[in-house]
Structure formats: structure tokens, C-alpha cells
């Protein structure tokens, strides 16, 4: 699957190249592989002003008419004096492309500039496989809790009108059986 990259951040979240990405490793790799001035120059035109680079703010929520966006290549940080946004390159990617998770933004940066996204080690996948039964059991317990709560608040009030004890118990059993069939 080929991913199209635009300055508005349109990309496929199901890109198989991002599967199994390690959060910390991918962020560090992005910071080591891509410089902030190179990425900022992709987003907006920059002009050298002393030690910093300045330009119009590239963030989508800020319509800048005068240059208020600065990039400090020595510190690898940016700051917009107009919208008060600032941070490192991964934060800039998050804000510019409207991506919530920093690891996904770092992976997008690496892919955008043609780098490979580092994968998790094989031991991580083996650990996930070992823990699958436990995670599935926990999920099943949570589903049972949710199922019981839904039944208690949705179905039981409807059965409270039945005064005959035997008929109430029969309807309760039937309702629970039907409810479990409908809510897996």
C-alpha cells in the first residue's frame, strides 16, 4: 500500500510499514535522521535571521501574515510567537499534520523523508503471543461485566412489572438467554 503525504496530514493509518513500531526508538530515529530545519522548510519558506530561521507559521490553525515562526537549528526546536506553539520536530509534525500520538508522527516523518521505520525486536512479538491468553481472558471478563450492567439497566426494569414469581423467573431466564445471544 502506497501512502500519499500532503502538508495537511492525509495518510493511511493502516500502512503496513508502521506495523510493530516501537515508540521510543522511532522518535529517536526521527530526531537523528531528519533535521528540524529540513522539515520546517518543507512546511513553509524560511529565511535565515541570525542564528535562527524565520517564516510564516505552517500550523493549520494559525493564519500568519507576518513571520512569527522561528526555528533554532542548534537546539532543534521551533516556536511560533503568534500562536504560542513550540517544541521539537515531532511536536511540529503532530501539530502540522494533526496527529495525536508522537510515535505515529515520528513514523510519518521517517516515511515522508524516505527512511525506514524501525521495527520492534522479535522478543516483543513473542511476549505478546505469550500474553495473548491472559489479555483475552481479561477482555472476556470486561465483556461479562458490561453485559451484566446492560442487562441490569435495560432489561430488568421491563421485568419488574411481572408480579407472579414463577412467571417473573421464567421471563428473566428467557430474557437473559436472548440477551446473551444478541450481545456477544
Question: Tens of pLDDT along 71-123?
Answer: 999 999 999 999 999 999 999 999 999 999 998 999 999 999 999 888 877 88
User: What secondary structure letter does DSSP report for 119?
Assistant: B
Domains and CATH numbers, the chain: 16-112 (3.90.580.10), 122-182 (no CATH)
Percent of the chain, pLDDT > 90?
Answer: 47
The answer to pTM > 0.85 is no
C-alpha to C-alpha distance for 162 and 169, rounded to whole angstroms = 9
Residue 22: what pLDDT?
57
C-alpha to C-alpha distance for 45 and 64, rounded to whole angstroms = 12
Is the pLDDT assigned to residue 174 strictly greater than 70?
yes
Residue 5: what pLDDT?
41
What would the mean pLDDT of 136-158 be, rounded to a whole number?
A: 90
C-alpha to C-alpha distance for 70 and 68, rounded to whole angstroms = 6
- Are 147 and 183 in contact by the 8 Å Cβ rule? The answer is yes
C-alpha to C-alpha distance for 138 and 122, rounded to whole angstroms = 24
Amino acid at each position: 500500500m502506497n501512502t500519499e503525504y500532503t502538508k495537511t496530514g492525509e495518510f493511511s493509518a493502516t500502512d503496513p510499514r508502521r506495523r510493530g513500531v516501537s515508540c521510543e526508538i522511532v522518535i529517536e530515529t526521527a530526531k537523528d535522521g531528519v533535521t528540524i530545519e529540513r522539515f520546517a522548510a518543507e512546511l513553509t519558506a524560511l529565511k535565515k535571521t541570525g542564528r535562527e530561521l524565520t517564516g510564516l507559521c505552517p500550523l493549520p490553525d494559525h493564519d500568519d501574515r507576518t513571520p512569527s515562526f522561528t526555528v533554532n537549528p542548534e537546539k532543534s526546536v521551533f516556536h511560533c510567537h503568534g500562536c504560542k506553539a513550540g517544541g521539537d520536530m515531532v511536536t511540529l509534525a503532530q501539530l502540522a499534520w494533526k496527529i495525536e500520538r508522537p510515535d505515529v508522527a515520528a513514523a510519518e516523518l521517517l516515511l515522508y523523508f524516505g527512511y525506514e521505520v524501525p521495527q520492534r525486536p522479535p522478543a516483543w512479538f513473542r511476549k505478546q503471543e505469550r500474553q495473548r491468553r491472559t489479555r483475552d481472558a481479561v477482555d472476556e471478563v470486561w465483556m461479562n461485566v458490561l453485559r451484566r450492567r446492560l442487562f441490569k439497566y435495560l432489561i430488568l426494569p421491563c421485568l419488574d412489572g411481572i408480579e407472579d414469581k414463577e412467571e417473573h423467573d421464567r421471563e428473566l431466564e428467557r430474557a437473559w438467554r436472548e440477551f446473551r445471544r444478541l450481545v456477544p
